[in-house]
Amino acid sequence: MLDIRLIREQPELVRDVMKKRFMDPSLVDKLLSLDQKFRKHKQEVDKLRHERNLISQDVRKIIKKDKAKAEKLIAKSKQLDKKLEKLEQELQKEETEIRKFLLSIPNLLLDDVPIARDEQGNVVVRKWGKPIKRKVMNHVELGKNLDLIDVERAAKVAGARFYYLKNQLVLLDLALQRFALCS
Q: Are residues 12 and 95 in the same domain?
A: yes
118, part of any domain: no
65, part of any domain: yes
130, part of any domain: no
For residue 161, report the phi and psi dihedrals to the nearest 5 degrees: 60, 40
Rounded CA separation 89/50 (Å): 18
Amino acid identity, position 132: I
**Where among 73, 90, 109 does a domain terminate?**
109
Q: Are residues 32 and 72 in the same domain?
A: yes
pLDDT value, residue 4 = 93
Rounded CA separation 39/99 (Å): 14
Long-range pairs, 87-94, Cβ under 8 A, ≥24: 87/41, 87/44, 87/45, 87/48, 88/45, 90/41, 91/38, 91/41, 91/42, 91/45, 94/34, 94/37, 94/38, 94/41
pLDDT value, residue 42 = 94
124, part of any domain: no
Q: Are residues 17 and 105 in the same domain?
A: yes
Report, as an integer, the average pLDDT of 65-70.
81
Convert the pLDDT of each residue in 121-169 to its tens digit.
788 888 999 988 888 888 888 999 999 999 888 888 887 778 899 999 9
Q: Are residues 19 and 96 in the same domain?
A: yes
Can you give the residue range of the structural domain that contains 18? 4-109
28, part of any domain: yes
- Dihedral of alpha carbons 134, 139, 141, 144, sign: positive
Q: Are residues 58 and 98 in the same domain?
A: yes
All residues at 6 or more sequence positions from 49 whose CB lies less than 8 Å from its CB, including other chains: 84
Q: Are residues 84 and 151 in the same domain?
A: no
Is residue 90 very low, low, confident or very high in pLDDT (cuts 50, 70, 90)? very high
Q: How many domains does the chain have?
A: 2
Evaluate whether 25 touches 15 at the Cβ level (below 8 Å): yes
Convert the pLDDT of each residue in 51-67 to its tens digit.
988 888 888 888 778 87
Q: Are residues 103 and 166 in the same domain?
A: no
Q: Are residues 25 and 79 in the same domain?
A: yes
Partnered with residue 149 across adjacent β-strands are 165
DSSP, collapsed to helix, strand or coil, labels residue 134 as coil
- Here the CATH number for the domain that contains residue 10 is 1.10.287.40
Q: Are residues 74 and 147 in the same domain?
A: no
Amino acid identity, position 45: V
Q: Are residues 103 and 142 in the same domain?
A: no
Give percent of the chain with pLDDT exceeding 70.
100
Convert the pLDDT of each residue in 14-50 to its tens digit.
999 999 989 999 999 999 999 999 999 999 999 999 9
Q: Are residues 149 and 71 in the same domain?
A: no
19-55 b/e (C-beta count within 10 Å ≥ 16 → b): ebeeeebebbeebbebbeebeebeeebeebeeebeeb
The reported pTM is: 0.61
Q: Are residues 96 and 8 in the same domain?
A: yes
Is residue 176 over pLDDT 90? yes
